[in-house]
Amino acid sequence: MSKNILEVKNLKKYFKTPKGMLHAVDDVNFFIKEGETLGLVGESGCGKSTTGRAILRLVEPTSGEVNFEGKNIVDFNGAQMREARKNMQIIFQDPYASLNPRMNLGQIIAEPLLINKVFKERKQVTDRVKELMDTVGLTPRLLNAFPHELDGGRRQRVGVARALALNPKFIVQDEPVSALDVSIQAQILNLMQDIQEELGLTYLFISHDLSVVKHVSDRIAVMYLGKIVELSDYNAIFKNPLHPYTQALLSAIPVPRVDAPDNMIILEGDVPSPVNPPEGCRFYGRCRYRQDICKAKTPELREYEPERFVACHLVEELQK
Amino acid sequence: MSSKTDNKKDKDLMEREDKLKAKELTGDDAVVKNYQSQTEIHAHPGEVQPKDIDVKAIEPPKRKSQWAEVWKRLIKNKAAIVGMIVILILLLTAIFADFIAPYHYSTQDLQNVRMAPNADNWFGTDNFGRDIFSRVVYGSRISIQVGFIAVFVAMIVGGALGSISGYYSGRIDNVIMRLMDILLAIPGILLAIAIAAALGPGLVNVMIAVGIASIPRYARIVRASVLSLRDQEFVEAARAVGANDFRIITKYILPNCMAPIIVQGTLGVAEAILAAAGLSFIGLGIQPPIPEWGAMLSTARTYIRDAWWMSIFPGLAIMITIFGLNLLGDGLRDALDPRLKG
């Protein structure tokens, strides 16, 4: 298969809080192959967004490596990072907050071009902006409109156009559709997929919406409390989830049938605090299968089957 | 399909038709073809438009500049117009004081002291027989200079300090804001008095004194706005496309906190005029015989029982000026916020 465009190794992001260190992202490892979409799912507060931002160094990682096309961007200085960001972009969750209300669409989409001095002449910039607007399905007539004049879907298209302006190879999509209503969600998702095919982009798709992730992802990583608990092919994960948390998560997808058997796994308790988490499996307190080893030792993400990674001591036992 | 989507479709369709007209592709065939491509686009919004339309050729409707839009909204506001007229009259008075005033501000007529308003002296005369109307007219020059220049300086310095403080936070923030706290701990007028006393009396020193005394207010306002904007996603987006700190502050953060600064600024002009009057009152401000509304007022205080005109007219001048500035400030705040655009 194609090579890995992005490799994340032992990525950690801790935040200092008055109570202690908050382990938002704790020792995360994964890779993304060129041209694929990796879905990153998990409940709120599990560190998905922080992971996406740490990859772009929008938040500075505490430690670890982010290798983009073989180079560790965590070591990059300002100028190198600016160069690297031409290839790595992000689309944000809230299309209402991610556009500067004082700029019109033309200015917003032109910003990446102007900052990086891509073109010499004003006319070229405007042409490129119109081209981008066309790519994302916005009529160039809206060039002088302000963000507050548009609906959520169109705003998100502006966000997409801005991310595409510098011809990136890799885009982090941080819950790009969770603020939109369902009919618009489909439009944006299809738009993103069409653009991906056309331009050969690689996506990291962050979402808490399983049906959306299922729709767009080639592979899926499941995150729980700062750690990846399972990572594998999208078919495999939906057919046979290995990790107890993934099993519970997937069982929560509603089935649109009245007579469907109720197989939902109800987890006990709450998500523990990510501040100073204890040694051992993060899921220990809520796991149905917990054993002593789970409390004593933190399970590493390991390859259970080819291309299937799981972080659970008991997976062999459970699969029998 | 929701009606919203249908509407959107209609709208897009209309837009597309316009484009076609622009390309002179009329006739039934074109419309049918156009409709088909339109539905296709809707099924896959990412679809590139048909090749027969050159998007680069499409000109968006001409828009006025942002300031022209602000102006348009401002003149819709009646109160703001009143404020503007007042300020305009004040400016014109200051500029053409030599032509408007019937007498020079220091011409004394000791035979006609404390004359009530009459045909020769519209606002009466003061205790040296000087024409109060002329003095009020000339006084506008001093007040405008002190008010606007002091506030302008305070706004620039305070704004810069506040944005650095709010944007970088941490130690820089602490140092700057503790300095501002020291300034704030001393009442503004007292601080101005101390500075004016140290520098000596005079117009420039009054402006410096009043300006420095109001720096912390702008620093605080700007810092608070910057703090609330700094972590917004559009700032993060700017960083993601490689914008440096200077660009982020000047193009993303400051334009979004203009409204409170401008409102504070117009009120600040009013307060600066009052502070300058206060300084003149205690002899640290503008020196006689140069007319200054505040100084005139404090002289008139002694005679308020039998010469009401001596205090009424400078007082009215101050009041109307401040009233006009406040109306204009409110109007500007509304006009500057594009979200309120009708």
Q: Tens digit of pLDDT for each residue in B113-125?
A: 777 788 777 888 8
In this structure, the strands spanning A308-310 and A227-233 are antiparallel
Give the position of tokens 């998702």.
A189
Rounded to the nearest integer, the mean pLDDT of chain B is 79
Return the biggest CA–CA distance within chain B.
96
**Residues A114 and A151 sit within 8 Å (Cβ to Cβ):** no
Rounded Cα gap, residues B84 and B74, in angstroms: 10
Contact residues for B244 (Cβ-Cβ < 8 A; gap 6+): none
Domain boundaries, chain A: 4-87+168-184+191-267, 103-167
**Residues forming a β-bridge with A205:** A39, A173
Question: Which pLDDT belongs to residue A32?
Answer: 92
> What are the phi and psi torsion angles at B308 (to 5°)?
-60, -30
Give the tokens for residue B106: 């220091």
Burial track A129-140 (b if 16+ CB lie within 10 A, e otherwise): bbbbbbbbbbbb
Task: Measure B252 CA to nearest chain A CA, in Å.
Answer: 7
Question: Which pLDDT belongs to residue B20?
Answer: 47
Segments of chain B scoring below 70 in pLDDT: 1-56, 60-66, 337-342
Torsion angle, alpha carbons of B60, B66, B67, B68, to 10: 30
| Chain A residues whose beta carbon lies within 8 Å of the beta carbon of residue B10 | none
Segments of chain A scoring below 50 in pLDDT: none
Task: Measure B68 CA to nearest chain A CA, in Å.
Answer: 14
Cα distances (angstroms) measured from residue A133 to each of A94, B52, B59: 19, 17, 13
**Residues B126 and B132 sit within 8 Å (Cβ to Cβ):** yes
Percent of chain B with pLDDT over 70: 80
The CATH superfamily of A4-87+168-184+191-267 is P-loop containing nucleotide triphosphate hydrolases (3.40.50.300)
Out of A112, A130, A165, closest to residue B58 by CB: A130
Rounded Cα gap, residues B210 and B142, in angstroms: 13
Asked if A136 lies within 8 A of B46 by C-beta distance, the reply is yes
Percent of chain B with pLDDT over 90: 17
Question: Which pLDDT belongs to residue B43?
Answer: 40
Over residues B265-316, the pLDDT tens digits come to 887 887 888 888 888 877 788 877 888 888 888 788 888 888 888 888 988 9
| Chain B residues whose beta carbon lies within 8 Å of the beta carbon of residue A92 | 233, 236-237
Question: Which pLDDT belongs to residue B114?
Answer: 78
**Residues B194 and B135 sit within 8 Å (Cβ to Cβ):** no
Out of B5, B56, B255, closest to residue A131 by CB: B56
- Between positions 258 and 287 of B, the ones with CB within 8 A of A are none
Cβ of A97 under 8 Å from any chain B Cβ? yes
What length does chain A have? 320
Over residues A131-144, the pLDDT tens digits come to 899 889 888 888 88
The CATH superfamily of B66-340 is MetI-like (1.10.3720.10)
Rounded Cα gap, residues B308 and B330, in angstroms: 32
Asked if B44 lies within 8 A of A85 by C-beta distance, the reply is no
**Residues A265 and A251 sit within 8 Å (Cβ to Cβ):** yes
**Residues A281 and A287 sit within 8 Å (Cβ to Cβ):** yes
**How many Cβ atoms are within 10 Å of B330's Cβ, its own excluded?**
17
The H or E element containing residue B120 is none
Give the position of tokens 């197989």.
A263
